[in-house]
Structure 1
Amino acid sequence: MPRLRFIPTASLPARPPLPRQTEISEPRRIIVMIALALGGFAIGTSEFVSMGLLPLIADDFGIAENQAGHVISAYALGVVVGAPLITALTGLVPRRRLLLILMAAFTLGHVLAAMSDSYLTLLAARFIAGLPHGAYFSVAGLSAASMAPPGQRGRALAFVGMGLSVATVAGVPAAQALGQAFGWAAAYVLVAVLAAITVTALWFLMPHMTQMPATSVRTELGALTRLQVWLTLAIGTVGFGGMFAVYTYIAWTMTERAGMDDRWLWAVLMAYGVGSVAGNWFGGRLADRNLDRGILFSLVMIAVVLVAFFATSQWVLPGALTFAFIGFFGASLVPSLQLRLMEVAGDAQTLAASLNHSALNLANASGAALGGAVIAAGLGYAAPALAGAGLAVTAILIWFPAARLR
């Protein structure tokens, strides 16, 4: 596997003096948001392609299916730990500089993953790669919202999040195909290259974020004293668990249960990605229209489509179509949760926004564990969908006091 040499930010080519965020034109703002979304594209490719690579990783290291799933949990644990820790301790770091540091660390994690020669080394590399995930999305999303015109913050957040959704359409299938053809490490090489390109783009394009004041550790930690922050995080942690319980084992579900040739797995992942892109666009507008009701609608539909997937996953085409709707309604929930956290966190928006990704990746880890548990219990590859529907219903029950007490 070819080695990647990351070029430190300090040695990048010289660039013209950067403007302040208040001095950029609308076209420049859009270009900056595309650069931010590119980082989300790299992160999304990394986060989701690992699920499709689990059979290859399991075969390479001679481990069981549920043990291979720990690769997913290791990355998610990195996000859960890194998001609050990094954002709380870097409140005084200029936002532009912090974005560069975070994406450089993400690149390093994937270089290490591609070079891993043992299962434990891969687990450590995935944990390192997950550390900057939540902080990057938090700072990138808040930067996009800070630059957005009035009344368009939800759309700005969705635009940056679109990078993650588009990754499930283009990045994940491409990385999956590379992994199938050249070994699972090739997929992580692709992610490292995408991350390095993002560092370069931000170096040249990102303005000085003068409208985002520095904050202290004490201010950021103030988010943890707010009940609404915890309720919102609980909705995300529980509500998303079912989606990941299905996604983590989709390779086995479609090949073992539906009888699909594994060469077509990329198409199933792409169907999910198309649904995610459309759902992210829909979710941004849903957040700007009616925030709390939009969250409830998404949760109800997640429960419905998970039950539907339990019934349709025995067939290739109906299963793939239902899987796409899981992506749609799952993605529609993200902008609303992100914006709700920003609204209820007061001055601690950076930490609160990053905690959203901690919640989602805690859902990732718990969903993967739940799915593995029901499969290991002999309940079959469709069973995680029903368990996930139960989690979505539980999230709905949490929504009611959250909306009532706000």
Structure 2
Amino acid sequence: MSLFLLTYGLGQVLSNWIAGSIVDRVGSIRPIYVFLVAVLIVEPLLALTTHTIPGALIMLFLWSFCVPMLFTPQQHRLLQLTPEHANVILALNNSTFYLGVGGGAALGGLALRVVAVTQLGLIGAACLLLALVLFAFSVRLSARKVKRYEGEKGEKEEMLVASE
């Protein structure tokens, strides 16, 4: 059991260690897409790899690496969208994160009444697919708002220049 916990912890530590570097190099949107898809693939495969210790360790490491890799880019993205409300937006993000953790545990507990434990990965994958769709929608919506804001800002600057 200790080896599994060590593997899980190493994945999380490594992920948190390099997440900031990845965001600094490529921005926040691309890593979120990549790691949502990665977790979407890993989640249902977890149940298939638990029959061997090496397979389970590899998948556990991948899972524990990918999940935290979503948190730093999401915080970065939120700070880019509303830097003037940094404290509030990060507090809301953390609250939503923990609400999701609790909701996921509740959903998993309810699901265990209906499906086998080996099927929980499929339910997790369905939730990740929903998250991926909602994230894509969010990116498009925020891009429109930014474009509209920049257009309004440009019009105001043109009006100021014209009035001088």
Do the structures match in fold with TM over 0.5?
Answer: yes
| RMSD of aligned Cα (Å) | 1.5
Task: Give the ranges of 4+ consecutive aligned residues of structure 1 lying more than 2 Å apart after TM superposition.
Answer: 313-317
Give the drift of 1:329. 0.5
Q: Which has the higher helix share?
A: 2
Give the drift of 1:376. 2.1
Is the counterpart of residue 389 in structure 1 residue 125 in structure 2? yes
Which runs of structure 2 are paired with 1:67-146 in the superposition (5 Å)?
none
Q: Give the counterpart letter for 1:286 in structure 2.
A: I
* Correspondence for 2:135: 399
Q: Which among 297, 300, 309 is matched to residue 34 of structure 2?
A: 297
**How many percent identity over aligned positions?**
26
Q: Secondary structure at the match of 1:402?
A: helix
Q: Which among 341, 363, 367 is matched to residue 104 of structure 2?
A: 367
Q: Secondary structure at the match of 1:376?
A: coil
2:48 and 2:73 map into 1 onto residues whose CA distance is 29
1:329 and 1:283 map into 2 onto residues whose CA distance is 10
* Correspondence for 1:68: none
Q: Which among 46, 55, 60 is matched to residue 309 of structure 1?
A: 46
Q: Deviations over 1:266-321 (max 9, x none)?
A: 32122111111111223212221221111111100010111211211233331232
Q: Give the counterpart letter for 1:393 in structure 2.
A: L
Q: Give the counterpart letter for 1:401 in structure 2.
A: F
Question: May I ask how many residue pairs the two structures share in their alignment?
Answer: 141
1:271 and 1:381 map into 2 onto residues whose CA distance is 21
Which runs of structure 2 are paired with 1:240-319 in the superposition (5 Å)?
264=1, 266-288=2-24, 289-319=26-56
1:315 and 1:371 map into 2 onto residues whose CA distance is 24
1:356 and 1:393 map into 2 onto residues whose CA distance is 20
1:376 and 1:272 map into 2 onto residues whose CA distance is 27
The structure-2 alpha-carbon separation of the partners of 1:360 and 1:293, relative to structure 1 and needing over 3 Å to count, comes to: same
Q: Give the counterpart letter for 2:58 in structure 1.
A: L
Q: Which among 62, 73, 80 is matched to residue 336 of structure 1?
A: 73
